[in-house]
């Protein structure tokens, strides 16, 4: 099913990373502006990060895990104690925009560069080093994002959904390791129901969500892929969901041949394999398109499908 599986360390069958995006209330300021101070209940929902993150860190401590947290730089400045708690535990922090802005909706490449660099500066100030990884907020990855990341010396990107194993993204600014995930491993679709932010759906029970997550794990384990969760503390850190997370980790660890690591750990392993010529990655040229299709290649739209 996977033509080119990665030789994972120590004969592991697959790689697993429970990554969290710590957005807190950044996206509310960005999306709602002057209305945001009156969104008190929704803000309290997003700020559950302050309760959930210590709980998640305790779970990782109990299982001996080091994992990756993707952070908007504004949140790092706003909630520095959470940053300190993560760093004290030896986890990785990675770049998740400045204030959760959508890269594909910014008006220019120059502004995208400015915001990513601003985030890098915050990382350097608060952690003492530059971030090695990036995940675009909302997965909104522009035609410029990959080349900007390569030019700025990032090691990997975790924004796309183009494969089951790592690949190399080749850009005009250089190359970087691609660590894709899947919408099936994002907790938003499972749990988020909030009319004020425009997300109205049926909330799944933790057991139902875990069935989806574990089905993806079983396939990754069988065929040598990756399992990369894209979760949020204020979503998956709630009590019942956190308990389900503990159960999933225990079940995965029980296999004995699953590699739990940070995103940086996966990227560094892949780079080593490539350098030693022990594995040949798929190479993907980005962006897929650098300009829209010519008008004459796009047929007129009728508003309904014709057969």
pLDDT at position 179: 98
- DSSP tally for the chain: helices H, then strands E: 12, 10
* Per-residue pLDDT tens digits for 55-75: 999 999 999 999 999 999 999
In this prediction, residue 115 carries a pLDDT of 98
User: Residue 307: is its pLDDT beyond 50?
Assistant: no
Could you tell me how far CA 280 lies from the centroid of its own chain? Answer: 24
Tokens for 113? Answer: 């560069």
Tokens read off for 136: 């675009």
Q: What number is the average pLDDT over the span 258-265?
A: 98
289 CA to centre of own chain: 23
The pLDDT of residue 113? 98
pLDDT of residue 303: 60
Given a cut of 60, whether residue 306 has pLDDT beyond it is no
pLDDT tens digits, one per residue of 160-202: 999 999 999 999 999 999 999 999 999 999 999 999 988 888 9
Average model confidence (pLDDT) across the chain: 96
What integer pLDDT is reported at residue 302 of this predicted model? 63
Chain segment 218-230, per-residue pLDDT in tens: 999 999 999 999 9
Whether the predicted pLDDT of 118 surpasses 70: yes
**Is there a contact between 146 and 170 (Cβ–Cβ < 8 Å)?**
no
pLDDT tens-digit readout, 126-168: 999 999 999 999 999 999 999 999 999 999 999 999 999 999 9
Beta bridge partners of 19: 230
Does residue 124 contact residue 232 with C-beta atoms inside 8 Å?
no
Record the pTM.
Answer: 0.95
Cα distances (angstroms) measured from residue 190 to each of 23, 28, 186, 201, 300? 17, 20, 8, 9, 36
Query: Do residues 203 and 191 make contact, with C-beta atoms less than 8 angstroms apart?
Result: yes
Q: What pLDDT, on the 0 to 100 scale, is given for residue 304? A: 57
Residue 253 CB coordination number (10 Å): 14
Cα 145 to Cα 132: distance, rounded to the nearest angstrom: 15
Return the structure tokens found at 80.
Answer: 């520095």
pLDDT (average), residues 77-82 = 97
* Phi, psi of 298, rounded to the nearest 5 degrees: -110, 115
Confidence at 301, pLDDT banded by 50, 70, 90: confident
Spatial separation of the C-alpha atoms in residues 289 and 267, rounded to whole Å: 25
In this structure, what token pair is assigned to residue 263? Answer: 């995103």
Q: What is the DSSP letter of 260?
A: E
């Amino acid at each position: 099913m996977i033509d080119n599986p990665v030789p994972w360390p120590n004969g592991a069958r697959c790689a697993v990373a429970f990554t969290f995006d710590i957005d807190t209330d950044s996206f509310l300021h960005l999306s709602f502006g002057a209305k945001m101070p009156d969104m008190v209940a929704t803000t309290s929902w997003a700020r559950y990060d302050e309760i959930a993150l210590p709980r998640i860190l305790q779970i990782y401590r109990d299982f001996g895990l080091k994992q990756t947290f993707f952070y908007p730089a504004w949140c790092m400045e706003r909630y520095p104690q959470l940053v300190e708690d993560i760093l004290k535990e030896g986890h990785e922090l990675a770049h998740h925009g400045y204030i959760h802005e959508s890269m594909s909706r910014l008006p220019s490449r120059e502004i995208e560069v400015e915001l990513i660099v601003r985030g890098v500066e915050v990382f350097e100030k608060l952690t003492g080093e530059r971030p090695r990884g990036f995940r675009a907020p909302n997965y909104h990855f522009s035609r410029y994002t990959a080349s900007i990341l390569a030019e700025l010396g990032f090691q990997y990107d975790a924004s796309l959904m183009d494969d089951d194993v790592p690949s190399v993204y080749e850009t005009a600014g250089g190359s970087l390791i691609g660590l894709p995930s899947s919408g099936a491993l994002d907790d938003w679709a499972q749990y988020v129901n909030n009319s004020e932010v425009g997300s109205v759906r049926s909330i799944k029970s933790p057991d139902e969500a875990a069935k989806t997550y574990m089905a993806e794990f079983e396939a990754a384990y069988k065929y040598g892929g990756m399992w990369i969760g894209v979760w949020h503390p204020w979503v998956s850190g709630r009590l019942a969901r956190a308990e389900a997370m503990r159960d999933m980790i225990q079940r995965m660890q029980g296999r004995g041949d699953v590699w739990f690591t940070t995103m940086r750990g996966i990227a560094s392993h892949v780079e080593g394999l490539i350098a030693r010529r022990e594995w040949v990655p798929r190479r993907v040229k980005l962006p897929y398109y650098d300009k829209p299709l010519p008008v004459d290649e796009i047929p007129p739209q009728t508003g309904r499908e014709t057969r």
